[in-house]
Structure 1
Amino acid sequence: MRLQVARIGKPHGIRGEVTVQVMTDSPGDRFTPGAVLEVEPSGHGTLTVESARWNKDILLLAFAEVLDRNAAETLRGAQLFVETDEAEDDGEEDAWYEHELEGLEVRVAGEAVGKVTGLRTLTAQDLLIVRTGEGDEVLVPFVEAIVPVVDVAGGFVELTPPPGLFELNRDDAGTGDGR
């Protein structure tokens, strides 16, 4: 399975390092020296990690094929992928990749209320991004108490949201005057 692990940001310094937005739970395993990453757009071919280091909370990568800032600038916005083996997963039954969740119907008490449009991974907990039928975006804590059922094969997630969760993001919520 092909898995996106990062998106390249801006160059850092003059020796070809780039900042990356990490999209993997295990950057220490994915960005080891010698790791070969597929790049999209595909015109960039593959990149071989030469070094990886943290600068505060930003991961900086250097690639064997990128020798200076000008070459690094051409990679801005490119996406990095790895090929994974299904057996490589941790064996967790309650772990999903974002691409598996996107597009799933969101149900509350069996009634469709929207679709999953993304997953925001944070340090404390992950959030499902749900687009309601009215077009509102709702951030739902991705915890078992609120999302007890994820049925990828069936094409849906079942929520038991606390009262008011879906109303918080509506334009008319709170003030009563549209503010």
Structure 2
Amino acid sequence: MSALVCVARIGAAHGVRGAVKLWTFTEDPFAVKRYGPLLSKDGKRQFEVATAREARDHLVATFEGVTTRDEAERLNGIELYVARAKLPATDEDEYYHTDLIGLAAVTTDGAALGRVLAIHNFGAGDIIEIAPPKGTSLLLPFSNAVVPEVDIAGGRVVIALPEEIAGEESEER
């Protein structure tokens, strides 16, 4: 289990007084204010949210010590992390994506596929990336149909491989 969990990403500067666009990955967008100092991925920088207000699809936030547009512009793209222990506990059938990284991936009949490498979201829903022992990673929709079981305690996810993947060439050609 990862020690740090990404909870937000800083976007472009907003205005001239050090505010930034802030995309949060938490159920409650304002939860980022309650976690205390947020960390950069390497853990070397800390960011304390001073103010936050809702915008269309993000927050507009200021950080302690950031007071100019130039300072805000230098923060663009930084992902913000919090210690996993600071996050609320999950319900029995819930989990954080970070809890899945490294779990064994097996087919519905128990055959090993590899390990969960990442969960991605490129805008059309979550994608689970499975790294096989050899070869190219599998990118599959992270849906109940494709991932019918997540067993964190058992250290595995069950994958129901789709019968046909769109775009594959027929072997008969």
TM range (shorter): 0.7 to 0.9
* CA distance in structure 2 between the partners assigned to 1:66 and 1:85 by the alignment: 27
Moved over 4 A (4+): 83-87, 121-125
The alignment status of 1:97 with 2:96, answered yes or no, reads: yes
Give CA-to-partner distance per residue, 1:77-117, whole Å, 9 cap, x none.
Answer: 3232334657832x421211122111222111211123222
| Structure 1 match to 2:20 | 18
Residue aligning to 1:36 = 36
- Root mean square deviation of aligned Cα: 3.3
**How far 1:42 sits from its partner (Å)?**
4.2
2:125 aligned with 1:160? no
TM-score by structure 2 length?
0.75
Residue segments in structure 2 that go unaligned for 5+ positions in a row:
none
- Shift of residue 64 of structure 1? 3.3
Q: TM-score, normalised by structure 1?
A: 0.73
C-alpha distance in 1, partners of 2:102/2:121?
Answer: 17
Q: How many residues align?
A: 168
Residue 45 to residue 161, structure 1, CA distance change in 2 (3 Å): same
Q: Does structure 2 conserve the Cα–Cα contact (< 8 Å) formed by 1:52 and 1:62?
A: no
Determine which structure has greater relative contact order: mean sequence separation of CA pairs < 8 Å that are 6+ residues apart, divided by chain length.
2
Alpha-carbon distance in structure 2 between the residues aligned to 1:14 and 1:122: 30
What aligned pairs does 1:24-173 form with structure 2 within 5 A after superposition?
24-31=26-33, 36-40=36-40, 41-54=42-55, 56-83=56-83, 85=85, 88-89=88-89, 91-108=90-107, 109-120=109-120, 126-132=126-132, 133-143=134-144, 145-164=145-164, 167-168=165-166, 173=168
Identity fraction in percent: 28
Q: Does 1:4 align with 2:6?
A: yes
Cα offset for 1:51?
2.1
Please state whether the residue corresponding to 1:150 is helix, strand or coil: strand
For 1:157, the aligned partner's letter is: V
Task: Label 1:125 to 1:75 Cα distance change in 2 as closer, same or farther (>3 A).
Answer: closer
Report the Cα distance in structure 1 between the residues aligned to 2:70 and 2:154, rounded to whole angstroms: 47
Matching residue's letter, 2:9: R
Q: Which runs of 5 or more residues in structure 1 are unaligned?
A: none
Q: Distance in 1 between matches of 2:83 and 2:105?
A: 29
